[in-house]
Amino acid sequence: MQKLNLSQSLSQKLSPQQIQFIKLLQVPTAELDTRIEEELEINPALEEGKDEDPAKDDLDDNYDEEPIAEDRDVNLDDYLGDDYGGYKMQGDGNYSPDEENREIPISSQASLHELLMGQLNFLKLDERQKLIGTQLIGSIENDGYIRRDLDAIINDLAFSQNIETDLDELEEILRKIQNFDPAGIASRNLQECLLLQLERKEHPDDPTVQNAIMIIQDCFEEFTKKHYSKIQKKCDLTDEETKDAVHLITKLNPKPGGVSDGLVKTQYIIPDFILNSSGGKMEVTLNSRNAPELRISRSYSEMFDAYDKSDKKDKKLKETVTFVKQKLDAAKWFIDAIKQRQNTLLRTMEAILSYQKEFFVDGDETRLRPMILKDIAEKIDMDISTVSRVANSKAIQTEFGVYPLKYFFSEGISTDSGEDVSNREVKSVLQSMVDEEDKRRPLSDDKLVKLLNLRGYNIARRTVAKYREQLQIPVARLRKEL
């Protein structure tokens, strides 16, 4: 039996202007110019340049659009892909203080796929073989590996290209591609990747190269687990021969598709904020590229005034007035969104600067205070999602280097004295312990916990393991050296 029920519910929807602001807020400095150029192309009512009329046009009186909300406690998931992972933020992206403090443009270079296709075209292949080669190159992932099963690629060729082939023919063309640059490309696993690189060494008959090949072919599992004594015994090698071969292997590239020597596009950080210190006073400013000069076209404003005062009975004239007003509205909304973006960025950065003032004095990461998104959101009276969008995509240039904003967010760890210190300080101490350990007898997680506890940090073993993984430090067994 069907029933009709009435129910009341409150919901809040974001206007198109609010969504536009949120999207602009996420855009990094390097992409803002492109976004503005796109808007200038599609909206003739928007122009570059400073508005010369301080009083502005009386046109504002004709606008009845909804103002852009500074911040609302609404769920944005229906509108945008959310990029903040919960209540707290892990600021693990670290940039070296030695990094140059100048803007570096984004390089524009050939993609890995384009480079491989260029090499494929140099091979003397018939049309059928070229199509098979193209399919194989299309199956190569970003790190340079082909993980798709070859039988599945055979099926792909049959269905998409109407090409019947077999494993022998596919592997024959695959081997040709595996001879392309960079060395190790189109490997199906790490073992094959390392072997391909060793076989292409300048002196393949060198004893060290031969020993390295033997280790990867016959003792790959032992090598991954660093069981060097088993390798020596199985391959009948001396300590020196094993050491040289292992050193050669560790210099190989495990991700041939991820190199940055012109084979893939390389991007560099362009800071959104500049921090200047003078006479003990710190001042943060926006990168000039974040403050473009935009104005509403005077000719469009005058056109609207003329049309608006004319006879409204003409249908075509009505459509023209509507079109012009839409463009003027969109131009004003975009200018307002850019200004609000600047204001939100500065407020967020100034709050971070105030909260982490001790760090910005000398760049000592042990001076970082525990700080989560909520701390800054409450300080500037904005939603956590807004702070997250700023922190996830922006960076600041200091005299110590360029740092992403998420670097300054971290959880707190209690000490014996009852104080809370940033987990970044604990990570720094942990990294120092690992750097200074005896590599022949590396410290286990249990020993690291005891050493940290002796220094006053109340930390559990699972937390040490988590921080070690975030710092990309392998377990003790894999840090062992000869």
The pLDDT of residue 308 is 65
Q: In the chain, where are the structural domains located?
A: 14-101+268-410, 112-177, 190-258, 413-479
What CATH homologous superfamily does 413-479 map to? Homeodomain-like (1.10.10.60)
**Mind listing the pLDDT tens digit for each residue in 46-61?**
888 776 654 444 444 4
Least Cα distance to 307 among 331, 330, 325, 295 occurs for 325
The pLDDT of residue 351 is 93
The pLDDT of residue 391 is 85
CB-facing half-sphere around the CA of 137: CA atoms within 13 A? 22
Integer Cα distance of 458 and 409 in angstroms: 20
Question: Would you give the DSSP letter of residue 251?
Answer: T
Low-confidence ranges of the chain (pLDDT < 70): 1-3, 5-17, 51-110, 259-269, 307-314, 412, 414-422, 482
Instruction: Confirm whether pTM is higher than 0.95.
Output: no
| 230-to-215, 268, 394, 466 alpha-carbon distances in Å | 11, 44, 49, 30
**114-123 contacts: CB < 8 A, separation 24 or more?**
115/181, 115/263, 116/140, 116/177, 116/180, 116/185, 119/180, 119/181, 120/177, 120/180, 123/176
Three-state secondary structure readout of 105-154: CCCCCCCHHHHHHHHHCCCCCCHHHHHHHHHHHHCCCCCCECCCCHHHHH
**Mind listing the pLDDT tens digit for each residue in 6-51?**
666 655 566 666 777 788 888 877 788 888 888 888 888 888 877 6
Q: Which helix (H) or strand (E) holds 217?
A: helix 207-218
**Mind listing the pLDDT tens digit for each residue in 342-397?**
899 999 999 999 999 888 888 887 788 888 888 899 999 988 888 888 888 788 88
Scanning 286-422, the segments in alpha helix (DSSP H) are 298-308, 315-355, 357-362, 373-380, 384-393
Least Cα distance to 173 among 199, 193, 146 occurs for 146
Integer Cα distance of 55 and 62 in angstroms: 15
The pLDDT of residue 106 is 36
